[in-house]
Structures are given as C-alpha cells and as structure tokens.
Structure 1
Amino acid sequence: MMKVEDLKLQNNEGETALWLAIASTDKMVDVLLKRNKDLLKIRTKGSLPFLCALWSGHNDVVECIYSMTNIADEEWKDSDKKSILNSCIAAGLFDIALEIINHCKTKGTLMTIGTEVLRYLAYKPAAFDEKVRSFFRRLVLRILPGPGNFENSTGVKIVRCIWSETVKQNLQKHEDILKTIAGDSEEKEGLLFTAARLGNYKFIAELLKLYPEIAWERDHNNYTIFHVAVIHRHENVYNLLYELGLRKLGTLDKNKDNILHLAAKKPAQSRLNVVSGAALQMQRELLWFEEVKTRVNSTDRRKWNEEKKSPQALFSEQHADLMEKGEKWMKNTANHCMVVAALIATIMFAAAFTLPGGNNGDTGHPILLKKSAFVVFVVADAVSLCTSSASILMFLAILTSRYAEKDFLVSLPVKLMVGLVTLFLSIVTMMIAFSASFFLLYAESMKWIPVSIAALAGVPVVLFALLQSRLLFDVINSTFNSRHLFRPKNRMI
C-alpha cells in the first residue's frame, strides 16, 4: 500500500504526482493535497507547483491549491512571489493577487515585487470592472454608457495599494518608478501611455488621485495621455482633462501636428466599430473634432502641419471615404425600412375599411361596435397607419438629404432614430390589431384560437427587437447621449 511519503517521489524530470495532477482535474489535486500538503513545497526545475498551476491555465486547479495554501507560512522567495503575482494578474485572478499584495505590504516587501504589477494592470482594463452588475445596470450602460462606479473593483484596490507605497519612496526610487510609469524612450512605452492607448481610464484615474502632475508627462512623440486618447478615441481618458483643470493643448508633435490635427485623422477601424454603421461612425468623428476644437486656441485651429494642411482640410480629406460609406449605408437602411413601412401602411389602410364582422346593412355601423376588442382593433389600426406613414416620411427625408458633413452630426441620426422608432411602433400596433380581430371573431366559440394567435403575433415583434436592438440603441445613444460623451457628470478622480 502506498504511503503518504511516497507521494513526494519524483520522476526523472523531477515531477511529483502533484505536478502531473495539475494538468488533470482539481479533484485529483484536492485528493493529493489532503493526504500530503508538503507537496506544495517541492520544486520542479526551480518552480513551485502553485506557479505551474497558474501556467497551466486551469483556474479551478489554481483556486484549489490556493485554498490549501497559507501565505504567511509558505517560505516563498521574493522571486516566487513576483512570478506568482504577475501570473495571477495575467490570468485574471485578481482576488488572489490582492491577498498576496496585502501580505507583502504587511511584510514590507511590496516594493520589491509589486511595481511590475502596474504594467500588467495597465494592459488589463477588465481588472477594473465592477464585481457585481445587475441585468438592469448592464442594460442602462448599453443604452447610456458612461464611466460608472468602479470603486469596488479589485483592480482599483491593487493599484491604490501599490501606488500609495510608491509615492512614499525616496527621491531616486521615486524617479525610477516614474520613468517606468511615464516612459523615457522610444523603444519602451510608458505604462501611463499604454493605459491611455488601451482606454484603461480607471487605471490612470487611480494614479492621478495621488500624483496628478503625472498627467502632463510627455512621451517621445511629445504627446500627453490626452493626445493619445484623441488618437485612439478613448473619451473616458480624455474626460480626465476636465477634472485636472482646463488647459489648452497647443503643443506640436514631430510632424508639426497639433491635437486638432490628431482629431482630424481617422482612427483604426476597431475604434470606429464601437458604433453601428458608417453614418453613426461619421457622427462620432465629428463629435470628437468639434470637442477637441474647444481645447485649442483660434490660431491653432487654422495652423498648417508639415503637409501644409489645416485641421479642417485634413479632416475632410481623411473622412471622405467614411462620409461616402455613411451616405450609402444611410440610404440603404432608409430604402429597406421604407419598403416595410409602406407595406404596413397599405395593409392598415385596407383593414380600416374591411372591419371584422362587417357592417350593419341598414345603418352602416359596424356589427361588433360595442365589443371592447373592437375598440382595441380600431385604435391599433389607426396608430399603426399613422406611425408607418410617419416612418415613410422620415426615411424619405433621409433619401432626399444633401449629405453635407454637418448633416451627419444631428440631422441624419435624428431622422433615422425617429424612422426606426415609428417603424417599430407600427409593427407592434399592427400585431395588436391582428390579434384583436381574432378575439372579435372567435372569442365566444373557440377561445383557444385568439389566445394562440396573440402569442404567435408577438414573435415578429420580439424578433425585430432582438435583431435591430443594437442599431436602435446605437442610434438613440448617438442622438441623445452624444451631448454627454464629453464632460461627464460623474467624477473619476
């Protein structure tokens, strides 16, 4: 029978049974550690089993091993703690990382192993997400996105813990850490600019709380984080500017471009795709250009770069293809939606003169006039006819627009939003009228028929809502929330 000590035996590669079990399941790891916890201290090729579990990518195994690990009792070297901490951040195990950081802070070794964690967190915007977010909260943020409250996120606690210790260091150590944060060469990007490029505004906000002057550090291109935010279109990073005090951003980069020239250049396609459709993308670009225009003086608004182009001329040149795509996308959308709206209007107009049950031959009044379902039918038919007609007019206005640059800012998005909303209402009321007619005809003889029909009538409404919800939310957000895209009410610092 195998003894407990036999579990410590190693093969030719120096691997124990625990090392082999790590690649399997957490249940096997749990069984081995319950019999012999000393397996956690046996190294293979200089590495601990806990670190191997992190490398394996099996988070359930990692959590199983960590639950049986007492950090205070483990004789981990500083190099072990550094590797484990960085691996936890890279794997998204932020709760475990925070416990290790708090332990190191108590032992006074945090600054020996913790500064590299900031680099991993700069690349991990997900570390700053709220722990709990209800369905209603997610729905609201989808329609009206914003910074939100991130005080309860683990990433915030980690940055706060490390950064508070950083600012307490002596002058030389402090300067070395600032070089890591801000960057001091073209070859190595500073953490602050990495976070700005990735839109990790929560990471930046935590650094600025204790050291606001770092916001004005410049990289090898003579950019601040706000220049980087404009290049990559991260409004939450840019909005930190308003909490640090208003300041004009008139400096030039190596190509003699000011920040308005940077706003005039089209960003990467991945940043354009944050909204649906080329027309709404063009609107977002116009919003950025008009906003940044307020951050430079009147002279810089007309200043030429090395290519002898003003910001406005550069914007028109860079966005000519997007503007053409936006016009084509808007017209195609309007054409397709107008066909549907016209069909609904035709059907509802005909239904108004072919009432369920017919008319009284003597008086001409509807036979089923006194039934409540008849009132529902008539009202729903009238609403559907009116909303579909309004939808047709909105889409017709889109087709006949002049498609100037400024039209993409307000006029076209508003028309599209009104057209889509009225089209959706016409579909809903058409289905209501359709269901009401069956309640009028079959409610007394076969009640299951109108109930079944009413349930089926909800299918196209739900399908329209699901299939077009992204576009509808983007249109509503671009139309109403665009005015709040910059200068949000919620403070981040």
Structure 2
Amino acid sequence: LEQIIIPAASTSMPQRWKETGSQSASTSEPGQEQHLDQIIIPVASTSMPQRWNEKGSQSASTSKPGQEQQLDGIIQAASTSTLPGWNDYNLPRSDVLSGTRGEYLRIGVPLYEASIRCDWNAAKAIFDKYPEKQLFRCSITENNETALHVAASLKRSNKQVENFVKNLVDLMTYEDLELENSDGDTALLLAAVAGNIQAVKIMVIMNRTLLTIPGSHGMMPLIVAASYGNYEVVKFLYGCSRELFYDDENRVWLLQKCVEADMFDVALKIVKNGPGLGSGDILRALDILEALARKPYAFSVTKSNIIKRITSPVFALIGLRIGAYEKESEALQLLKLIWEDIAKGPKEVINYILGLVDPVVDSANSKSNIQLPRIQYSSRLMFIAAEMGNTTFLVELIRRYLDLIWKVKDHNMSIFHIAVKYRHEGIYNLLYEIGSMRDKITPLTDDNYNNMLHLAGKRTTKVRLADVSGPALQMQRELLWFKEVRSMLHPDHRERKNKDGQTPHDLFIEEHKELIREGEKWLKETANQCMVVATLIATIAFAAAFTVPGGYNQTDGIPIFYRKPTFVAFVVSDAMSLFLSSTSILTFLSILTSRYAECDFVESLPTKLMLGVATLFLSITAMMITFSVSFFILYHKEMQWVPISIGVFALMPVILYIVLQYHVLSDVIRSTYGSRYLFKPGKQVLYYVNPRV
C-alpha cells in the first residue's frame, strides 16, 4: 500500500495533509481516476502519523472483494470520525479553526479569552449565540485545544475556575471529556500538570475512564501529576485509581516520581498496597534508592511533645506503654520496606545496586539467570548517601549488609573518608561504634597518598561552611574537625606525607590561608561596629548617673525622689548599663588587638566575641530599663498610662536586637561549647538501638 484516499472536504484534516494530497493528485498520470471529493495521499508521507499508516494497512487487508481500491490506495468514508489514525488522537471538531479568519476572530478569539479568564457569563453568551456549532466540542487553538483544555491548564485553583469548569463539563457528554489536543493530552492531564485540583475532581467524577488515558509521553495523569510535584492532585488521583492500577512498570515509575517529589506518604501506600520490587526492575529500584539517599532531611525523627517524652519513661517503669515518643519518618519506613524486599533477592543484585561489582563481569560469573544492565553510574549508592550526610540511610543499609563498612570507593576511600571530606559528623561518629575495625579503616589512603587527616586538612565545600555564620566560626569548625581526626588517627600516620610531599598540617595551613584572613577581617569589623554602640551606651549611662529624674535638693544635694522604690531601680539599672557596656568595650578591644594565630580561632576569639555580644545586649536592655523607670518616678498615679506606654515601646529595640543578632550569639555558643559534643555520639545507632517506650 502506497497511498490512502481521504475526503478533500474534511474540515478536521490538517492543512499540510490537504496540500500533500493535492500535490499527489496533480502529478498523477492521465487515465487515473480522480474524484473531486477525494484526495490521494502517499502512505509514506513523512507528515502522516505512523498510527495512520498502520491502520491504513489493516483496513486494506480487511476490505471486502469488490470494494474500489484505486492506485493501490484505500478509499475512506467522508465522515471524519472514520479517519484511521486521525481518530486515534480523538481530536475535537475543527469547525472554528477551519472556517474563515473573520469567523475565528468573531468566535474563536472571544471564546479563548473567556476560557483563559474563566468568565463563564462571556463563554455562555458565545455558546448560546451559536448553539448549532456546539463550540464546547470545538478546537479554539492551533494545538486543537477546547475551552475545557484551556481552563483546566490554568495554574490556579479558585472558585471562579471551579465554577467555569463545572458549568462547561455539565454541557459535555461522557465522551467529550476524552477529547485530546494535538499532543494527545486530555483536559484532565493538563489539569494534573497545572495542579488544578478542583478541575481534576470535577472531570474524574464525570468520567473515571480519563484516569487510564495516557498523555503524549505515554504517562498516565497520576504519574504526570507526581512528576510535577502536585501533591493534592496525586493524593486524590491515587485514591481514585488504586484499584485499577495499570501494571508493575507504571507502579514503580509512579513510586519513583513520588519519592523524587517528597511525597513519601503516597509512596509508602504504593509499596504497602502492591507487590514488592524484588529484582524485576533493578534500574528503577536503584533510582528510587538513590533519590532517597539524596534526601537526608526526609529521615529526621518526629518527636512527641515534651509532656509525653517526660511521662513515657515514668509509665514504662510500671509496665504501661503510652506510645512512642519518637516517630519514624515516612521516608525511613519506605526505605525499610524497599531495602528489606531487595535484600531477599540474589546477592549479585544487591551488590549491583550498591555499586560493589562490575555489572559486566558479575553477569558473566553469576550462577543466577538475572542479567544485570550494562550501565555505569557516576557514584555508588552508599557513597552518594555519605556525600549527602544521610546517616540514617547508611545505618539501615549497614544493618542488613554489615560488610558495607569495609567497602571503598574508586579512589580507595571509605564512607568515613567521605564523611570527613564533606564534614558529616553523624557518619563519622559511627567509627566509635565499630571498635578495633576503625584502626584498619582510618589509615587508608587515596591515589595521592592522602590519608583521613589530609582530607580533614583540605577546606570543605562552601555549602558545608555556610552552615556556620561568619568566617571566624567557620575556621573554628575546620580546626575542630582537624583536631578530632588527628586524635582518631594512629600517631604513626599523623605526619605522613602525600604525593606532593605535604603533611596533613602543611596542607591545612595552605588550604585555610584565605579563610584565616577572612575570619580576621570579619571579627575586626564586627568588633569595631559593636564597640561604637557600646561606647555610646556607656556615655549615656555615665551622664544619666548625674542627671537623675527630679533633680537634687538644693540644701543637701540629695536627690528629691531618692525614697521612691522606682528611683532605686533607676540607679541600679543605670549602673548595670555602664558596667556592662564598659565590659563590652574592653572585650571588643581585646579582639582588635589579638594576634589571630591559628589556635586563637578554636576558643579564645569565639569566647571573646560571645562575651562582647552578650554584654552589649545586656547593656542595651539595662539602658532601656533605666529610660522607662525614669518616667515612673516623674508621673503620679493619675498619669500611670504614660510610663506604661513608654515602657512597652522601650521593648522594641531589645526585641529587634534579639531578632537581628540572635543567630550570631547562638552560633558562637553552639560552636564554642556545643562542639564539645559534636564528635561524641549520645547513643549507639549502628548495631544497637536503645529500646523506645
């Protein structure tokens, strides 16, 4: 079959098909029959859909004897509904698009504008004006989209959109909702892409078959919604389509998209309600685990309120359980189910997923019938988790596959070397739980003879440094890491040189020169600015001590209001403001005159900064108390609202200071004192878990 003959007058036929057919007809030889109501189109035309080609062949093979087959073609009926392939797309009617330009400007453009604005009154007026055209079934864009397609694709979901879609759907039949645009997308699929939850609900209630109609890329609406991260749409569509789940491939595909979009509750339901992953789709399982490995934030433990945490151990003593005060995250529950399912499979599958074998060699040597894919990943699963600092993920893998502790990356680095390189103390602390095995792991060196201490000597990534505010505190954190790893390493390895002839300490100095300069500059600028404020407060406090409210008695020089309790509060708060501001000045002055040696960044400079910022805050607070109390001294009972109002407004600078400077003070305290517990795990997590109540 080389040609297909279709009606020339078909209004739903694309223009390029008409042109192709016209050319074919004009070039035909004399004697060949040419019907005015038909156009001969070559089947091999590149502009014709493949599905049409296939269906044309089927139609030819099943045609009855005696039917006219001209020029080895197929004569199709004049009705556009019988066009093979073209009907596969289930396109809307093209009455508006195929008409004159003036008709499109008079009907199509206003209807499109009404649809994009979701103006039902304007759209209904157009429908009522041309009832014979049934415009709600017609294409109004070049992409063959109906008014419903346009409204459903809006990235907003409000009452106006909901009313427009509902009124439009009420005019349409069951089959009208299945109309597709030129890309093969239904209005439901476009609504799923946009996250238009109300439009999705209206259409699904009207026609549940829409759930099983794939889009242009072969993806179901549920999978498309998950790909775009539209949580509400995914939750609704999964509840509607769970009982008619398509196949294992679509189910695993949906699971992967939900994990990538952080929809762990839906992903958990998919795993619980369906068959396990097993070893049937290794690559998809690897993609899912890799997505989980890259999300350490998803594995945080949800803690109960403080009352339950306090009372749970008490009730446990008498044998009563009132619920766990630490709840596992949905991501962790999902990981346990998937990993438990995979762990039941053949060992070579597990090794491949973890990246512990060469897939080509292992497939040749394997005794099982499973063929591992020939594909190379940039990094192995467990080392991705180590780079991301996903401690919980690694712990779950190691519990079921204990040998993972010994595994090394391409450059002979273990997960603990990766943890040091990227400064993940949670993973590094696992060294404290493996006993003497750490003495065999810590001395490992990479291709350049860099040991674990060399890695600690290298400056970490800017992303990890950004977790601590200020270059000085970042330098402190780097020094703490270097000291910790040095204490972990055997003395014989602390001064080993790498391929460049550098000891770990030499490498540390070279890598952190710029950070030391930045830390010095940051500390001096901070000290200068804070010292100016402290000096102003000290000046005001000193002057206020000699200009007390109400003045002095001219005879004996005693303050007039010295007997009032509020006057005593005034004097005490003023003195505290002066003392604290003076302390702050001296502290910041010592920062300016410091030698800025490497060891000073560990404790000396951070402690001085913490003391200076804290005393400055307290001096500001004392100054505002002094200011407020002075009004209580001067105003009598009938005017008490004046000092009360002033006292309330006086709190604003104090609160503002806390909001703006709290992170600096908290970072200093956490870095200086909290770092003492940075490398000492509170409880074992690898081989032993404390029983939870």
Please give the TM-score of this superposition, normalised by the length of structure 2: 0.65
Question: Structure 1's 417 and 203: CA in aligned 2 closer, same or farther, altered over 3 A?
Answer: same
Q: Of 198, 208, 231, which aligns to 1:59?
A: 231
- 1:202 equivalent to 2:392? Answer yes
Instruction: Say whether residues 1:310 and 2:523 are aligned partners.
Output: no
Greater radius of gyration (CA): 2
For 1:370 and 1:208, how far apart are their aligned partners in 2?
A: 73
**Unpaired runs of at least 5, structure 1:** 137-148
Aligned to 1:17: 187
Q: Helix, strand or coil: the match of 1:222? A: coil
Matching residue within 408, 414, 417 for 1:227? 417
- Structure 1 residues 20 and 279: CA distance shift in structure 2, 3 A: closer
Contact 2:549 2:634 in 1 (8 A): yes
Q: Within 5 Å, give how 1:95-174 maps onto structure 2.
A: 95-104=265-274, 107-113=275-281, 114-130=285-301, 151-174=327-350
> 2-side partners of 1:186 and 1:67: how far apart?
37
Q: Distance in 2 between matches of 1:341 and 1:186?
A: 61
- Give the C-alpha shift of residue 436 in structure 1: 0.3
| Paired amino acid for 1:4 | Y
- Is 1:441 matched up with 2:613? no
CA distance in 1, matches of 2:279, 2:271: 10
User: 1:66 is matched by which residue type in structure 2?
Assistant: Y
C-alpha distance 15-333 of structure 1, shift in aligned 2 (>3 A): closer
Quick one: which amino acid aligns to residue 274 of structure 1? D
Cα offset, 1:101, TM superposition: 1.2
Match of 1:217 in 2: 407
Given that residues 354 and 380 in structure 2 are in contact (C-alpha distance below 8 angstroms), is that contact kept between their aligned partners in structure 1? no
> Within 5 Å, which residues of 2 pair with 1:391-470?
391-470=584-663
Displacement after TM superposition at 1:211 (Å): 2.3
Question: Aligned with 1:69: secondary structure?
Answer: helix
Q: What is the identity, as a one-letter code, of the residue corresponding to 2:390? A: N
Shift of 1:119: 1.0
- In the alignment, the residues of structure 2 paired with residue 235 and residue 436 of structure 1 have an alpha-carbon distance, to the nearest angstrom, of 49
Counterpart CA distance in 2 for 1:212 and 1:434 is: 66
> Aligned equivalents of 2:487 and 2:448: distance in 1?
22
Which deviates further from its counterpart, 27-36 or 368-377?
368-377
Other-structure match for 2:576: 383
Which residue identity is paired with 1:32?
M
CA distance in 1, matches of 2:391, 2:564: 60
Matched, 1:192 2:382: yes
Aligned to 1:327: 520
Distance 2:425 2:461 in 1: 15
Structure 2 residue corresponding to 1:91, chosen from 239, 261, 265: 261
- Code of the aligned partner of 1:81: R
Distance 1:211 1:98, change over 3 A: same
Q: CA separation in 2, counterparts of 1:31 and 1:293? A: 65
Q: Kindly provide the amino acid, as one letter, of the partner of residue 31 in structure 1.
A: I
Of the structure 1 ranges 7-16 and 322-331, higher mean CA displacement relative to structure 2 is found in: 7-16
Structure 2 CA distance for partners of 1:109 and 1:334, relative to 1, 3 Å: closer
1:4 pairs with one of 148, 161, 174: 174
Q: Distance in 2 between matches of 1:88 and 1:322?
A: 41
Which residue of the partner structure matches residue 479 of structure 1?
Answer: 672
Distance 1:186 1:483 in 2: 42
Structure scoring higher RCO (CA < 8 A, sep ≥ 6) equals 1
What is the Cα deviation at residue 194 of structure 1? 0.8
> 1:220 and 1:120, CA in 2 relative to 1: closer, same or farther beyond 3 A?
same
* 2:78 maps to 1:78: no
Contact preservation (8 Å) 2:278, 2:342: no
Identity, % of aligned positions: 44
**Deviation larger for 110-119 or 419-428:** 110-119
User: Cα–Cα, structure 1 residues 386 and 133, in superposed 2: closer, same or farther, change >3 Å?
Assistant: farther
Report the Cα offset of residue 122 of structure 1: 0.9
Task: Please point out which of 209, 212, 217 is paired with 1:38.
Answer: 209
**Residues matched between the structures, number:** 477
The secondary structure found in structure 2 opposite 1:44 is: coil
Q: TM-score, normalised by structure 1?
A: 0.91
Amino acid across the alignment from 2:187: A
How far apart, in 2, do the equivalents of 1:234 and 1:7 lie? 53
1:326–1:473 distance in 2 versus 1, CA, 3 Å: same
In 2: Cα distance, 1:109 partner to 1:225 partner:
27
State the 1:299 CA deviation.
Answer: 1.6
Identify the structure with the greater helix proportion: 1
Shift of residue 287, structure 1, vs aligned partner? 0.1
Moved over 6 A (4+): 132-136, 180-186
Deviations 1:296-354 (A, max 9, x none): 11121111111111111111121112112211211221121111111111111111121
Unaligned runs of 5+ in 2: 1-170, 308-324, 361-374, 687-693
Residues 33, 110 of structure 1: alpha-carbon distance in 2 compared, 3 angstrom cutoff: farther
CA offset digits 1:214-255 (Å, max 9, x no partner): 122100010011111111111122112222335130111000
